[in-house]
A and B are shown apart, each in its own frame.
Chain A
Amino acid sequence: MKRAQFGHSPIPYLFVGPQLAIIVVFFLWPAGQAVYQSFLLQDAFGLSTRFVWFRNYEDTILNTVWLESAGFTLLFSALVSFFSIAVALLLAVRANEVIHAANAYKTLLIWAYAVAPPVAGLIGGLMFNPFIGDLYHLFNAAGWDFNHTRDGFDASFMVILIAVWKQVSINFIFFLAGLQGIPASVQEAARLDCRSDERRFWTITFPLLAPTSFFLLVINVTYAFFETFGIIDVTTRGGPGGATNTLVYKVYTDGFLGADLGGSSAQSVILLLMVLGLTVLQFRFIERKVHY
């Protein structure tokens, strides 16, 4: 197909200029710096720097602490993404059926969206505070010897719960919009064709929500990998004993607290490649099943 071509004018470049500048200054340049740093080794005082090729990468991947952190991150991301999406979908489907006071329910469910991850962490931290935390006391009263400051499982449970709670509301908004995009008459035609609510959900509603679900999957995996940093920083700080140390949090502690710039840069480059790989996989294998 032949497209219409207009005479070139410099004005379009003027319009995209600021955006390009932002990408260069705040993404490409730091990313380039990180890649460059990841090939360097500094002594403890930052006095001498050596070019060491892939030493930092080798050290990273062969390090058991990093491997444990990577394992936790994958599990954490899978659970956070799955539960944020599943819970939001359930709530959206239910809220969409409500007729009376529907807006009140919806507003209450959406409200948590306005909470930033560190604030969510702060709220969660208070809920789980061993002295005044209601959830802490509730779990203990229910017979679960819950202590997130000592037990790695309990700590993981807590950060997953907070991360899911924070993310459910945004997923809920998207699912609700997706549900309202399904024509009422299509749902009604399905009610004449299929008696079972559950079967109708899986054969009509869910496939029609697939584009939304896929988009949310990509967004949620990225969220779980990177944005949960704030929650972990204000609750467990990766502890106890590195049980909740996600890769991003480890990049931060090694680089900024441990002053190992080379190793930390190598870790962040690996992390970037992991997320990139995951996103490519999602597009290749899941998007195919999505009918827009």
Chain B
Amino acid sequence: MADIRLSQVEKRYPNGAHAVRGVCVDIADGEFVVLLGPSGCGKSTLLRMVAGLEEITEGEVAIGGALVNDVSPADRDIAMVFQNYALYPHMSVFKNMAYGLINRRFPKEEVRAKVEAAADMLQLRDYLDRRPHQLSGGQRQRVAMGRAIVREPKAFLFDEPLSNLDAKLRVHMRVEIKQLQRRLGITALYVTHDQVEAMTLADRLIVMNGGVAEQIGTPLEVYERPASAFVATFIGSPAMAMLRGRVDGGALRLDGQPAGLPSGALKAPDGPVTVGVRPEDLRLAEDGWIAGRIELVEHLGADQVLHAALDGQGERLIARFAGAESLPADGPVRLAADPAKLHLFCPESGRRLAA
């Protein structure tokens, strides 16, 4: 058990790809941190640098207070669970779990006791003599977990460990991983591009984009105060609507029309802004300041989802309403949102404006 500290970590691959750019984060002892981001944003690269499988081009990685930049993976005392599980195909389940312990010269009885304890915890007791190819996907996943926990490492590293499982098993294993990590109190760094997985597992989220950590915070912070337009649209489903507007003396204008918000409602400097509104923060209003045409209404039982094309902007937005109030299937529509629920971003940098 230990904390993990990354300072100004950079990764440039030999072919010139700049995969990770200046990532700084302190992961506390026992914390569960999830790395989230679109494909190719450098999540795996960052995780693999912590594991020692990838060289650190610049910056420092410390585990438990000790700098590990030049420490070999086996000496970092971390365990990793791979997307394809990476079990040793020629070894039994028992040997798979025992291999790391045997190499660390644990006495035989202790190895057996530890492996059996882990097998009990993961309901693998009946499969210890089998080979990986004789197991189902979920069982293989559990063996991979078992291989990680028997060593009682300082930290767990997960690279999309659930993405090869079907939806139901994924939910089940997600809960199991979280409970296991809580019970063992081991620091965890978990890579995923599944938002739900990220939101439910994380104590803290790192949202990455193009090698940069765009935002680091609790899932709720990230959802409620996204630090950039990228984070705002990436987190939340359906995605947040983004409108082009201007702030003029604290009042918002869309397409030159005043948005009808009380002046001084927005604490942003004058100039162009991107206005973000979550689908659930929009409501229908006769005199609403967002005008558009309905393109499609989806009835999801508990919710209805409205897709609209905005007048004058060429943008689309999605609004979500609870309940079953009857919506017209097409025609013009006017929507409004509480000024406190608006997210303002700088159109150039995409950074959040103080609001």
B-binding residues in A (CB < 8 A): 99-100, 183, 185-186, 188-196, 199, 203-204, 207-208, 210, 291
Q: Quick one: given A192-B73, A192-B74, are A186 and B80 in contact (CB under 8 Å)?
A: no
| A193 and B97 alpha carbons, distance in the complex (Å) | 10
Interchain CB contact (< 8 A) of B103 among A185, A194, A291: A194
Interchain CB contact (< 8 A) of A208 among B74, B83, B90: B90
B78 CB-CB contact with A under 8 Å? yes
* Residues in B whose Cβ lies below 8 Å from that of A191: 52-53, 72-74
Question: Could you tell me if A207 and B103 are in contact, using CB atoms closer than 8 angstroms?
Answer: no
8 contacts between A and B (CB under 8 A): A186-B86, A189-B80, A191-B73, A192-B80, A193-B103, A194-B74, A194-B99, A195-B74
B residues 149-206 in Cβ contact with A at 8 Å: none
| A210 and B87 alpha carbons, distance in the complex (Å) | 17
* Residues in B whose Cβ lies below 8 Å from that of A195: 72, 74-75, 103
| A204 and B79 alpha carbons, distance in the complex (Å) | 18
* Residues in A whose Cβ lies below 8 Å from that of B88: 186, 189-190, 204
* Residues in A whose Cβ lies below 8 Å from that of B87: 186, 189
Q: Report the minimum CB–CB distance from B281 to chain A (whole Å).
A: 43
Question: Could you tell me if B89 and A186 are in contact, using CB atoms closer than 8 angstroms?
Answer: yes
Question: Could you tell me if B99 and A193 are in contact, using CB atoms closer than 8 angstroms?
Answer: yes
Question: Could you tell me if B86 and A189 are in contact, using CB atoms closer than 8 angstroms?
Answer: yes
B82 CB-CB contact with A under 8 Å? yes
Q: Quick one: given A189-B88, A208-B90, are A194 and B100 in contact (CB under 8 Å)?
A: yes
Nearest 5 CB-CB pairings of A with B: A193-B100, A185-B86, A195-B74, A189-B86, A194-B103
Interface of A is mostly: helix
Contact with A along B44-74 (1 / 0, CB 8 A): 0000000111000000000000000000111
| A259 and B83 alpha carbons, distance in the complex (Å) | 68
Question: Could you tell me if A192 and B78 are in contact, using CB atoms closer than 8 angstroms?
Answer: yes
* Residues in A whose Cβ lies below 8 Å from that of B107: none
Interchain CB contact (< 8 A) of B89 among A100, A188, A208: A208
Whose C-beta in chain B lies nearest to the C-beta of A190?
B88
| A189 and B73 alpha carbons, distance in the complex (Å) | 9
Q: Quick one: given A99-B14, A194-B100, are A188 and B53 in contact (CB under 8 Å)?
A: yes
B84 CB-CB contact with A under 8 Å? yes
* Residues in B whose Cβ lies below 8 Å from that of A199: 103
| A204 and B82 alpha carbons, distance in the complex (Å) | 17
| A207 and B87 alpha carbons, distance in the complex (Å) | 14
| A252 and B179 alpha carbons, distance in the complex (Å) | 75
* Residues in B whose Cβ lies below 8 Å from that of A185: 82-84, 86
Question: Could you tell me if B103 and A189 are in contact, using CB atoms closer than 8 angstroms?
Answer: no
| A183 and B87 alpha carbons, distance in the complex (Å) | 10
- Interface centre among A188, A199, A204, by most chain B C-beta atoms within 10 angstroms, is A188
* Residues in B whose Cβ lies below 8 Å from that of A194: 74, 99-100, 103
Interchain CB contact (< 8 A) of A193 among B53, B74, B84: B74
| A189 and B161 alpha carbons, distance in the complex (Å) | 14
| A124 and B78 alpha carbons, distance in the complex (Å) | 53
Question: Could you tell me if A203 and B99 are in contact, using CB atoms closer than 8 angstroms?
Answer: yes
| A196 and B83 alpha carbons, distance in the complex (Å) | 25
Q: Quick one: given A195-B72, A207-B90, A208-B90, are A188 and B82 in contact (CB under 8 Å)?
A: yes
